[in-house]
Amino acid sequence: ETGVTQSPTHLIKTRGQQVTLRCSSQSGHNTVSWYQQALGQGPQFIFQYYREEENGRGNFPPRFSGLQFPNYSSELNVNALELDDSALYLCASSPGSGAPHEQYFGPGTRLTVT
């Protein structure tokens, strides 16, 4: 069974640029959630996708957007990057929405904005 994978591992961008992060969910999981983890903090929920539809969103501006594909993989897009967007971005998959299933996390993408 393949776990959650994310790409790239590390990324350096300049303020104002756009970035796309990718996530492949664990086999059999149809729900993907994205979290932002600033240095020394706990992860903060960005949004969740269930069967290709956004299914909940945290307190993040619209320049954070996402997609989920028919194979349940997902992308996180961030436009107009700001210095405070520097963080570890974590993707988590789970077997379904609604029930309090545990979420399984990928290794993360570390984004640095200069």
* List of residues contacting another protein (CB under 8 A): 4, 6, 33, 35, 40-45, 48, 55-56, 58, 90, 92, 97-100, 102-108
- CB nearer to another protein: give 16 or 54: 54
Element (H, E) at 32: strand 31-37
- CB nearer to another protein: give 87 or 90: 90
Q: What is the DSSP letter of 26?
A: P
Beta carbon of residue 92, minimum distance to another protein (angstroms, whole number) = 8
Angle value at C-alpha 78, between 75 and 83, nearest 5 degrees = 140
Beta carbon of residue 33, minimum distance to another protein (angstroms, whole number) = 7
Beta carbon of residue 57, minimum distance to another protein (angstroms, whole number) = 9
Q: Write down the number of H helices and E strands in the chain.
A: 0, 11
- CB nearer to another protein: give 74 or 103: 103
- CB nearer to another protein: give 56 or 61: 56
- Give the CA dihedral 103, 7, 111, 97, nearest 10 degrees: -20
Using CB atoms within 10 A of its CB, is residue 57 exposed (0-12), middle (13-18) or buried (19+)? middle
Beta carbon of residue 21, minimum distance to another protein (angstroms, whole number) = 13
